Structure 1
Amino acid sequence: WGTVEKLAAGDKPLNVLLIMSDQHNVRAMGCSGNLEIKTPAMDRLAAEGVRFSSATCQTGQCCPSRATLFTGRYAHSHGLRWNGVTDPVAEVYYPELFREAGYATCSIGKHHMFVPLDKNGFDHDISMGKYNRFCRSQGKPNWLGSGKWQPYRISGPVGASAADNDHHPTGYWANEMIKWLRANKDKPFCGVLSFYGPHTPICPSRPWADMYDPAKLTLPGNFDVKRNDWPVAMASQRRQVAKLTPADHRRVLAYYYGLTSQIDHNISRVLAELDALGLKDNTLVIYTADHGEMMAEQRCWTKTVACPEATIRVPMIARLPGAIPAGKVRDELVGLVDLAPTVLTAAGLKTPPKVQGESMLPLMKGKDVAWRKTVFSEIGYPGKHHGRCVMARTHKHKLIHNPNLRAEGPIDELFDLAGPMGDDQPDRQSQVCGDRCRLEEAVGRLGQDHRPRADVPDHPRGQAQTPKPPPPPRPGQMTAAGVLGPERQRTMRC
């Protein structure tokens, strides 16, 4: 590994490039076994590196999941549990540590942060506002300004955007990343390229909007799953698209695949630039997503306060030629909480002591090491909206505690993931299994909130830091402190 210590000796340091999509169902990749979608860039990364087939997010929603990714801490620890909540500015985001070590840093694309990005370690920021200004300067509407839309909406329009790739945020942000790589090719860098998609609005440009024939696409095997006891959050989600016919779902799926393929095309352009600049061999590239997407599973789209496999599982692919064996698949229960300690360790930087994830480097390098047997996910605030849904999962079983607010009360569901119904139907035949006691204990622990230990410093250098004051909230915006009170922390290692 070209760690930061080698920089002083004149050796090439390790660069880090995180490429992230938003709301990408892990099944929507060729390398994960989907024969109907075209994702050659993602497939290339998997063929040249390692793919983690059981990766999960720790919150199935954008803002809290991204905070976990950048801090290596669970939502109930960093305090950001819902979209639109001010970022936990007292937390250490891993780009801060790269910047302090002399790395050029950038965030290009969707960041979903509500503080100036330099506070979280980013020197260079190209986000949605700059994309919209670019379109105006070109005399063109943005990607939602004109298009051929379907008569229904799913959190926004669905259909073919009239914007070409250069004027679609997907292509624009890839162009900006290519410019930034060229400008920083002679410096150590830590970059983040985050696409706004295939999250809704599902509006790819042509030719990708026309790439898939809806009639030839296969709906998920659990599309028609029947239940009469849906938790209230899932029941609400199903009602939002209840009028869509199977043909409608296939058409939405065609656009979702199209937007995923457009993202993949632009990933390919960025990878080609790394090749052209001679940066491939010393750049750790990681592809992932902040969370998944229902993608017509159980007749749902988007996500909600629930923990189905479709929304908690995420892509996780890593490539570093010469260090990561090519073409490997690992099934350990890794998560986005592990990403920050992984990239910090790879670069030879110290991981903050309050980080709750584990470095995936030994797994990436093909080593057999002890790893967690249980992975966690959570979403929501206790007592708010649908409440806080908590999940503990092993390879074989999953236990979900649904608060089920606005209904008859909490529902605990045990799923046999290895059984014929997967996570489509709770396992009612066997209320006792080898994993159940472990899962019940894990969910119980995750369901408790604990104050942090006063003797653990906030900063990796071992000196307690004065918390940075958060910016005043925008009108109508919640703050983590306003909802939660003092920060709460719980380390989860099972």
Structure 2
Amino acid sequence: MKNKRPNILLITSDQQHWNTIGAFNPEISTPNLDRLVKEGTTFDRAYCPNPTCTPTRASIITGKYPSQHGAWTLGTSLSEKHTTIGELLGKDEYRTALVGKAHFQQVTPTEEHPTLEGRGTLHDYEFWKKFNGPYYGFEVAEMARNHTNEWLVGQHYVLWLEEQGCTNWRDYFAAPTGTMDENKLYHWQLPEKFHYNSWIAERTNELLESYKEEDESFFLWASFPDPHPPYLVPEPWASMYDPNTLTIPHVMPGEHDQNPPHFGMTQQEKPDFSSYEESGFSIHGYHSHQVFTEEEHRKAVATYYGMVSFMDEQIGRILDRLEELGLAEDTLIVFTTDHGHFFGQHGLQFKGGFHYEDLLKIPFIVKYPNVVPANTRSNSLQSLVDLAPTFLSFAGLPVPGAMTGVDQAAVWREPELSARDHVICEFRHEPTTIHQKTYVNERYKITVYYNQTYGEIFDLQEDPEELHNLWADERFKDLKMELLLKYAWAELGKEAMPMPRVSHA
């Protein structure tokens, strides 16, 4: 057992399907993630607490569920009053940094809810020249908000583009920030050397070098925005995969017959989801196979795989530099993503209020030489809400009672153990109409909807593709009652205890 507290390197992607690691899927090439698989433990039953960016990313740094930290959906912000993992480690003399995507705040500033990550500040480059933290407990924060060519491009990434001599960077991004035709897909003309993946790897390595030189413990989050759509990637990655040779998922005939009504609506040519829109903003994720022709669908999957492979190469740069600096032996590495992705599974695209494994289950690899077993796979349940308490535990620090994630340190050391018998996944995209929660245990999964009598039950052992919803099947009414009770217990169990009871009154 090591006595020195570890450095912590968190590497995340954005919206990456769990089955996009070459070690487990021969149709995709990810040699550097495969390397982590061989050198660490892969947890095959890891889940996000919410299948969208802001809620889950806020959970990663607070150790709380979205229903507890308040950033409950996209278009909200995490209150800066919350205690974060970066803040706690920083107080104990860890150097802390975030490079890449943050997305802790909404895009549109208001008087009541200002934001550093939205219109106005996002493109105020004089501001970003002077600001690189602190931000949500990170001593250093160097950020990029865009996915591929989105108009949200700005912050520190644009400053780096200018420094690299890419003065025509607007040609590669969509209006109103840039001039690129947003209808162009798949092959992105942006040179690979100017991609934000390259910037994230470069800045991460420079920070590693400074920590090595100063002999300081660190918590460093390298946060890649890919492979989140739009589907765009530079060459050679854009043509790396032949669309005609890939396995392309599709909806199975009749699979939504027993599902809640919004599932079937996605399969209509022009579905009308206006009745679900309470907030006045468009809803995310109600996309079906109707979005693409078969040819477009295949090209999209090939490009998505190319985005994963390009990111993998840049992750390899970080792993190589960590070893070259002699830091690898003393560094706890976690690779994961914020949530999953649909690229045709169940006739769905992208993300939304559909709690299939494709969207909730995530890739999750842990490496810590001589502490976390190498070349090991585990079915022990994990959740991203567990990262903050587990990192604190490895650092030898107490876990605050306000954190409701589970300390997984013992499980990471001995993956045959379990710290959880269930996970909870939340999705609340509108105040009432799109509000659901899912309870998942070793075998079963149940999803309940606010103010609705419909729901979902899937037997993940007998029906791993989740094609047969058992909710309304009378043969499983006892199972339904049992799972509803276990879900209620789980909700009670995840309530925070900010302090212990210390007296009679």
> TM-score, normalising length from structure 1?
0.81
How many pairs align? Answer: 437
1:348 to 396, 404, 408: 396
- Is 1:121 aligned to residue 137 of structure 2? yes
The aligned residue for residue 412 of structure 1 is 455
CA contact (8 A) 2:41 2:376 kept: yes
1:391 to 421, 438, 451: 438
- CA–CA distance in structure 1, aligned partners of residues 329 and 300 of structure 2: 39
1:200 to 229, 236, 242: 229
Matches within 5 A, 1:434-449: 436-444=480-488
The aligned residue for residue 189 of structure 1 is 218
Q: How has the CA–CA distance of structure 1 residues 322 and 379 changed in structure 2, closer, same or farther, with 3 Å as cutoff? A: same
**1:224: how far off?**
5.9
215-224 vs 96-105, which moves further:
215-224
Residue identity in the other structure for 1:179: E
**1:76: how far off?**
1.2
The aligned residue for residue 290 of structure 1 is 338
**1:29: how far off?**
1.0
Q: How has the CA–CA distance of structure 1 residues 84 and 219 changed in structure 2, closer, same or farther, with 3 Å as cutoff? A: same
- CA–CA distance in structure 1, aligned partners of residues 351 and 483 of structure 2: 23
Matches within 5 A, 1:26-105: 26-31=18-23, 33-105=24-96
CA contact (8 A) 1:222 1:424 kept: no
Q: How has the CA–CA distance of structure 1 residues 383 and 46 changed in structure 2, closer, same or farther, with 3 Å as cutoff? A: same
Q: Cα deviations across residues 254-273 of structure 1 (Å, max 9, x unaligned)?
A: 00000000110000000000
The aligned residue for residue 141 of structure 1 is 169
- CA–CA distance in structure 2, aligned partners of residues 298 and 204 of structure 1: 25
CA contact (8 A) 1:292 1:314 kept: yes
* Counterpart secondary structure, 1:184: helix
Matches within 5 A, 1:274-353: 274-353=322-401
- Is 1:160 aligned to residue 176 of structure 2? no
**1:314: how far off?**
0.8
CA contact (8 A) 1:285 1:318 kept: yes
Q: How has the CA–CA distance of structure 1 residues 238 and 64 changed in structure 2, closer, same or farther, with 3 Å as cutoff? A: closer
* Counterpart secondary structure, 2:48: coil
The aligned residue for residue 448 of structure 2 is 401
Q: How has the CA–CA distance of structure 1 residues 280 and 421 changed in structure 2, closer, same or farther, with 3 Å as cutoff? A: closer
CA contact (8 A) 1:223 1:296 kept: no
- CA–CA distance in structure 1, aligned partners of residues 58 and 171 of structure 2: 27
Q: How has the CA–CA distance of structure 1 residues 381 and 19 changed in structure 2, closer, same or farther, with 3 Å as cutoff? A: same
- CA–CA distance in structure 2, aligned partners of residues 218 and 322 of structure 1: 38
* Counterpart secondary structure, 1:329: strand
- CA–CA distance in structure 2, aligned partners of residues 328 and 220 of structure 1: 28
- CA–CA distance in structure 1, aligned partners of residues 446 and 361 of structure 2: 15
CA contact (8 A) 1:390 1:447 kept: no
CA contact (8 A) 1:69 1:340 kept: yes
- Is 1:252 aligned to residue 296 of structure 2? no
The aligned residue for residue 256 of structure 2 is 227
- CA–CA distance in structure 2, aligned partners of residues 372 and 67 of structure 1: 21
**1:122: how far off?**
0.8
* Counterpart secondary structure, 1:242: helix
Q: How has the CA–CA distance of structure 1 residues 164 and 443 changed in structure 2, closer, same or farther, with 3 Å as cutoff? A: same
Q: How has the CA–CA distance of structure 1 residues 277 and 451 changed in structure 2, closer, same or farther, with 3 Å as cutoff? A: closer
339-348 vs 356-365, which moves further:
356-365
Q: How has the CA–CA distance of structure 1 residues 205 and 350 changed in structure 2, closer, same or farther, with 3 Å as cutoff? A: same
80-89 vs 99-108, which moves further:
80-89
Q: How has the CA–CA distance of structure 1 residues 450 and 319 changed in structure 2, closer, same or farther, with 3 Å as cutoff? A: closer
The aligned residue for residue 267 of structure 1 is 315
> TM-score, normalising length from structure 2?
0.80
* Counterpart secondary structure, 1:375: strand
CA contact (8 A) 2:436 2:447 kept: yes
- CA–CA distance in structure 1, aligned partners of residues 468 and 258 of structure 2: 10
Residue identity in the other structure for 1:394: N
CA contact (8 A) 1:224 1:299 kept: no
Q: How has the CA–CA distance of structure 1 residues 308 and 103 changed in structure 2, closer, same or farther, with 3 Å as cutoff? A: same
Q: How has the CA–CA distance of structure 1 residues 111 and 143 changed in structure 2, closer, same or farther, with 3 Å as cutoff? A: farther
The aligned residue for residue 122 of structure 2 is none
The aligned residue for residue 16 of structure 2 is 24
- CA–CA distance in structure 1, aligned partners of residues 160 and 40 of structure 2: 35
* Counterpart secondary structure, 1:301: strand
Residue identity in the other structure for 2:196: P
Identical aligned residues as a percent: 27
* Long gaps (5+) in structure 2: 106-114, 117-132, 145-154, 175-180, 267-284
- CA–CA distance in structure 2, aligned partners of residues 435 and 347 of structure 1: 41
Q: How has the CA–CA distance of structure 1 residues 94 and 143 changed in structure 2, closer, same or farther, with 3 Å as cutoff? A: farther
**1:143: how far off?**
8.5
CA contact (8 A) 1:284 1:319 kept: yes
CA contact (8 A) 1:60 1:303 kept: yes
Q: Cα deviations across residues 350-385 of structure 1 (Å, max 9, x unaligned)?
A: 21112212222222222543432221101115634x
CA-atom RMSD in angstroms: 2.8
**1:62: how far off?**
0.5
**1:451: how far off?**
8.3
Q: Cα deviations across residues 195-227 of structure 1 (Å, max 9, x unaligned)?
A: 001111221111111100000101137566642
- CA–CA distance in structure 2, aligned partners of residues 208 and 390 of structure 1: 37
**1:166: how far off?**
2.1
